Structures are given as C-alpha cells and as structure tokens.
Chain A
C-alpha cells in the first residue's frame, strides 16, 4: 500500500529523476554517428543516406550492442542485454554478417591476444560447432543466447508490413514473457522500401464514400498510428533507415514533372531539403505524417575517401560522413569501419 501511495505521490527532485531515468534506460549510444545526442525510449531516429553509406551496418552494430549482455561469466561485454526487433523491408538482411560481427565482439571482449588464434577463429565462423575447445564452447553458449535475442521478420510489401505492425504488440508481449526482458530497439530497414509501389496505387473508380483507399498516404498514416500506439505500451527506441531513392538532379526533375502531371497528393512535400552547410543534401520523399513522427534525423554518406591505419599491417578504410539534421547540429562527423566491423570516429581536418 505504501508503495502504491509513493507511486501516486511521485514527487521527486530533478536529480532523483535523472538518476532513475539514467539507470532504467541508458540513454547514450556511444557508437558513431549516434554519439552526439542522448537517445531514449520513445525516440524515432531516421538514418538517411544513399546506397553504400553503411546504414545497415550501423544497425547491425547497434543491434549487437543491444543483444550482448553487460557481463557474462565474469567477462565484461558492455551490452544492454535486451531484445532487438528487426523489420526487414528491403529483404536484404544477411544473418551471417551479424553472426560474424557478434562473434568478433565476443572474442575481442575475451581478449584473445594471439593473432594466429584470432585468424583461425574468424575462419571458423561458419562451422563453429566443430571445435571442441572449451573456451570456444563457452563462447558458443553466449553466442546462441545473443542470437536468440535478435528477432526478425521480413516484409515483401506494405500489406505484410502493416499486418506485422498490427500484430507486433501481442508478439512483443509474448517475447517479453518468454525472455523476461523487453525489446529495446525496433529497427526498420528501410522505411521507404515500398514507396514507389504504394505511390502507384490509384483509388478505385467506384469508391464507396467512407472507404479508405490504399495509397501512400493511408499506408504511412496507418504505420505511424500503429507505431505510436506500440510505443505507448512497449517503450522502445525506433531506428529506421531511409535510402535516398531519388538521386541526382536529373531524376529529381523527372519526379517533379511526373508528380505535376499526375497531380498525386504528395507534391506538397516533394521538395529539396538541403542542410545549411550543403554537406549532406538529400531529397525528402516520405509523407509529412512520417516526417513529423521522426524525432531525430541523421544523414550519412560515403565520402569516397580512404584512410589508412596500421593495425599489425596497413589497412585501407572507407570513410563516411555523418551529420545531424534533426536537431540540426553544426558538427560534421567522419567515421570509418574497421576491418573487424567496429565503427570509429575520425578527426575532421
């Protein structure tokens, strides 16, 4: 009874609240490009960039940080120990990438020092069951535990996406009961995957008055509506990637011409969004209902540059550029992917 009363009273100082919130929901994702601002449950982060800007790779790294435990048998892994729900709209997700990077992270945390040993382990990723080595077998258990925390569903069209969202609430509840932990990240890769298909939907000629027709607009509205409800019941961080499917000037012109001609309802938001620094420009194509749902937006793109680091031997790294568009921050960050898949920040010179 006292506990309930205490809960109703609910007055606490700012300091108390901060410490409570910080322990309940660790807000910082130290991984670039997310490191600039704290992200908390309820946030909807959009990662926008062209093809080959390492968007899916960033998602995978975040997912690994989430499914790894903080500590396991005395070894510190520094993960969140939570579940990840991955909605694959691009249908290109490759589990062997995730498995491999996860394995590397586990091996690194265990601090295997010998290089040859490391190589062997990397080579054996596919057939890890073969080894009878005790330390690897012990890794195996954690590896399987982590992989089971990664929940996945693929969607081939908007119907499947909507059907998934409509039933996601029950599903998350079930998973929470089964695992005893909740989903911390809901990942969508990528949100604009069905854009062109939905846009081509035309209302039926003989329309009943109050019947909603399937269109880009109604799909986006429903998606946002369902996700808002979901976030009330299951507090999570949403990270959605968005490919810049409209490329150079040429195709931009073409699209504008087309939307005028067909007078589709989305002309209002087909505008060029340029950041003030003009470093990471992109073309917004998602309906405004989705845009207003997004709380954070980060643009990433490849720079085409390469940097060289020396890690036992010389390694060439591709360098990417990231910039916060929402809230607009002045910083441009450069980051690179190391051979082991981890992401490092680079100084802007």
Chain B
C-alpha cells in the first residue's frame, strides 16, 4: 500500500508540471494588462510602462516563466500583483471559507443524494422513484447562482431568518459560521446531489439483484438491515468515486456561489484575479486546486480498500 501511495504521489509531479506550463501559457497569452487595471483609467502609457517594468512584465515570456518556475520549485508561488502579499498567504487567508463551504455543500449533497438514491432503488419504478429522479433532474438543471439568489430572496430578504451574504470565521463562533453557510451550501449542494442520487440508485440496483441479498432476505433479516448493512456497503465503491468527484466539482462551483453570497474565499479570489489579470494568483490557485484534485482522487482510491477489503494495491 505504501508503495502504491508513493507511486501515486510521484505521478503527481508530471501532472502538475503540465498544469503549470499550460496555465502560465494560457494566462499570459490572454490579452489584458494588470498594470493598466491597477493604475486606473487616466494612467498615461509612461505610467503603465513603468509599472510593467517594475512587475517584470516587460521581460520575454520565457524569462518570466523561468523566474516563476524556479521560485515554484522552492515552494514560492510568488507575490500577488494586486494584493501586495505572497500568493500562498492570500490563498491560505481565503482557504477556510472555501473549505467550509465545500464541506457543508458536500454534506448537503450526500445527505440528499445517498438516501434518495437508496429509496429510489428500493422503490424502483414506483411514484417515489420517479419523484426523486425528477426532483434530482430539476436540481441538476437549476444553475446554482439562480438557486442562490432565490434562497436569498426568500430566507434573507423576505423572512429575514438568515444573512444574505458574507462569512463569519469559525473561530468567532460555530453557529454564527453555520448561519452564513446554510444558504450557500444549499445553493451549491442541492444541484450536485442529483448525480449522487443517480449513481447510488444504479449501484444499489446492481447489488439488490445479487443472490446474497436474496439469501439475506430469505434468512428473515429486515429490509432495513439488508439494505443498509449488506447492500449499501457493497454499493459504496461507485458512490465513493462520485462523492470524490463531487468534492472537486464543488470546489469549482464555489467560484459562482462565493460571488453570489459574497464569501471571501478562494473562488471569489480567482474570479477577481482573472478580472485584474493578477497572473501569480491565478497560477497559484490553479496549481493548488489541481494538487487538491489529485490528492482527493488518491484519498478516494485508498478509501476503496477500507470499504471493500477485496481491493488491494
């Protein structure tokens, strides 16, 4: 197992290398200039040229890449052009809201997706099954920003029960933090629950047709016990895969949700950085998210061995 993990970790290196080159090239080949944005509308070409030189943007692209890459090898993601602070620090400062939002949204997605998927499988082809599948389809079709604005309108503006925007760090109080996260995590988690519902349903259907389930029922075990203890556990591998993928999707979805709910997280930072052409921040965030994606996949692969001891690496 250790050997497998080491091999997987080492395989991350070429992946990140490709990501680094592609991201750098894409960003720098896109038109736009951070110096012009920073200095505002009435900046003269001389002012812009001076700032460009100061930021090193007047150097050949290959030189800029080499400087950035050399620093990257030392673990230095560079400094934000706009925020005047190290990129890593800027990401760390905004990591908590994004991780909390992603975790809460995943919880929402799993708590909706797995039970509805299991019930749909057990009650296959009944009105309950169709209701859940239709609701899931509807949920997957609703853009999270639209759902977010709708939730704000109902729960924050009209009922005044929950805050409309912002974030409170967990260190300032767990309930306060959760209050700010309820609406955004519903907006982000609900549309993503649909895929979990469908995968859980199909995985459960496969398992429920197996002989050992029939045997368990024939032995007189209750439906609940058979479904939850025997069938669900064996259906977990594909579900775990999709939950892992959903976590990564949610990280991406946080970009929109954080903007709608004004959450000071990594997603909003990346949107703003693109608008400002803050190259080091965009590069840094993409690299960190790519690493996280690879890490999540690794964790999911390792978890397979826990839920299904037959799997060995």
The answer to whether A and B come from one shared complex is no
Interface residues of B (CB under 8 A from A): none
